[in-house]
Structure 1
């Protein structure tokens, strides 16, 4: 696990090495299957997902990089989360991925396992300066015998909510060690007050969290089957979530499908108490809501067993890229350049560079400080993360999403959904044997 506090104590050294394009670097890049473009004009493509706030500052960071590297032009491609993967998949199939791709942990093994991402190991210590990055943070990208993604930041799960709307529901505060029973009770009060408690939980993320609190995992260690044997765990978790929708304490899938971003969600409109999501999304949510928000930890019991720190996402380089060295230099700029990170300000997770962490702390807004503090708290109240999701996890995510919606609309019983999921998930994962 990334030691956040220890990383912050590392001494500041050159935060932005590797951009010189030396002969040694060019040789290393050539050996790694990269380019040796020197100062010749090059055009990179980069793709990411996110909301409007992320799009805007990312383009500013890219403009800054182009100013410092006038031979480089960067073409951008971006979308919301769901649309992003719909765009990326056919590009990958055609061997036409952008040079730099933002990759979620849920899709990481799918692309790395199919050799569609380049191994970054030859670039570490060369184009990508790792002086101020802890070994744990760097190793988060290891898959098989390579490292296919640069960890962009550290994240923690939690409930991000409006304390005034909570009080409107007749609840003064969220209990410090709240349980699933507390959660359901607050949801009922919210409904009585004409509010939603939340807009649901992403099934693969929060079911996996729930399993961890029970000492189980979603996937087995080999990645070729489910990690839990007792389907009553599935029934307990999804039965509760589906019932909240049926009770009108949480919106339906159809209602949620109309939401295009933080700017028009139920919390922003003042009809929903909070959102379950990763810590790096808090600042954009705060900006959209424009009201004071707070963090609450995950529900228990045994929250500490379930909670973990994870890479928020990775920047990876396409194996098909002809400009791997140039792409690596941009990734180095992203993670190590202090001026760039004065724009990023931890929105993609608490920075992995200790030097960057220390340099930007005085610039953090109250909301950004809340994120850093919550991640630091989470480090002390969490357990090691599970391995990277196995190949096939993207199909399993889609299956869980479909089943979750069917359960909410009473199109399938929770018990039948549990059996259906086990059969289909094991069939998908069994291909990894």
Structure 2
């Protein structure tokens, strides 16, 4: 099979975009060089860093412009990069004590930067500067590491399978079973391969193996984040043997094929060369925007789906501990999560809003595809379990190790049994 699978890589001057996001503008000065807009009305400069796709870049810049018009003494300098490059830029900035004032933060890095004292505790800013009166406490506490609030939740997300029903019918399957299992998934995926189609593009290993473990009553990390949370490697072997087999049978693309991914526009799902994609609910919007045919969402396979599913903060905004202007940065976060007009531009791209007032105000104005996402997250609230604690320090390195052994399995260079042993050995070294 010759397919072209894309994630998003566009270039715009010095900005580079990928499937996870787009690329970075030149940095502003260090935090120590920014001028703050304080109670005296002095001119303010804040650096704001994020990752995202081109659509996200465009509306984020629009929201920044709106904020600057309402606060003419504030200037916000944007910095953005694709997901991988973003963290490569953040790391040296943190080492040099020059993190941006406002940092879009992922759960994989929250504890790592927070416990090193590089993120401010936002507790002092919530309820006063950041209005939380229309928010559930569980939504806010999702950004805590211990008793410190290092990230403010921007929206809620849940994993699912997003697919083209018309392409599914081409393999003789009218619809996916409502309560499908992993056996159903494997059987249908192999049917797709028989029709020279990918059923899916593979799974991001830490996300979906983490889901699988939860359905088994286990977790990826133990409670204190010092070791893996499962003792029986058979869980690893069963899950990754299945994925390895689907790649070898042509039901999912090999790593060298996935390395060519450039953007949703050339995604096999969009081009009719693949049936679906496993990803977070908020990403359904971007995928649908480039599809000529209506797409649908399906629940995760079971059994024990409710134990596996959880509502995850899609991402956070954090404030650098090194920022000289934490209060001004907190004011922008409040604007982002509570301003209804701003959220009519954002429209839930970073997850379903945590403010019930914002959610109720913007939902009637949403296009059908976004209403589907909001409805899906509402369904998940009643059909899921509490999320695990934020990832421990070292999680990003551990995920890189898991991605590496997954790639080796998909190339057929390593068995799932050997990969399980290697991953456990590497994980023990990283987490200890």
- Do both proteins adopt the same fold according to a TM-score greater than 0.5, normalized to the shorter chain? yes
How big is the shift at 1:35? 7.8
Matched, 1:217 2:219: yes
How big is the shift at 1:83? 2.0
**What's the Cα RMSD here?**
1.2
Report which stretch shifted further, 154-163 or 83-92.
83-92
Residues 34-89 of structure 1 show CA distances to partners (whole Å, capped at 9, x for unaligned) of 98454211111111111111111111111100111111111111122222222222
Matched, 1:421 2:423: yes
2:198–2:275 Cα contact (<8 Å) kept: yes
Which of 245, 255, 259 is the matching residue for 2:261? 259
Which of 348, 363, 366 is the matching residue for 1:364? 366
Structure 1 CA distance, aligned partners of 2:249 and 2:240? 14
Structure 1 unaligned spans of 5+:
1-33
Match of residue 332 from structure 1? 334
Match of residue 353 from structure 2? 351
How big is the shift at 1:379? 1.2
Residue pairs, 1:343-422, within 5 angstroms: 343-422=345-424
Q: TM-score, normalised by structure 1?
A: 0.90
**Does the C-alpha gap of structure 1 residues 157 and 38 become closer, same or farther in structure 2, counting only changes over 3 Å?**
farther
Structure 1 CA distance, aligned partners of 2:39 and 2:51? 28
Structure 2 unaligned spans of 5+:
1-35
SS in 2 for 1:331: helix
Structure 2 CA distance, aligned partners of 1:149 and 1:315? 6
SS in 2 for 1:131: coil
2:409–2:415 Cα contact (<8 Å) kept: yes
Residues 205-264 of structure 1 show CA distances to partners (whole Å, capped at 9, x for unaligned) of 100100000011110011111110000110001111111111111111111121122222
**Does the C-alpha gap of structure 1 residues 381 and 216 become closer, same or farther in structure 2, counting only changes over 3 Å?**
same
Structure 1 CA distance, aligned partners of 2:269 and 2:89? 28
- If asked which structure has higher relative contact order (CA below 8 Å, sep 6+), I would say 1
2:162–2:276 Cα contact (<8 Å) kept: yes
1:48–1:77 Cα contact (<8 Å) kept: yes
Match of residue 28 from structure 2? none
Q: How many residues align?
A: 397
Residue pairs, 1:192-207, within 5 angstroms: 192-207=194-209
SS in 2 for 1:118: coil
1:152–1:312 Cα contact (<8 Å) kept: yes
Residue pairs, 1:51-62, within 5 angstroms: 51-62=53-64
Structure 2 CA distance, aligned partners of 1:35 and 1:214? 51
Q: TM-score, normalised by structure 2?
A: 0.90
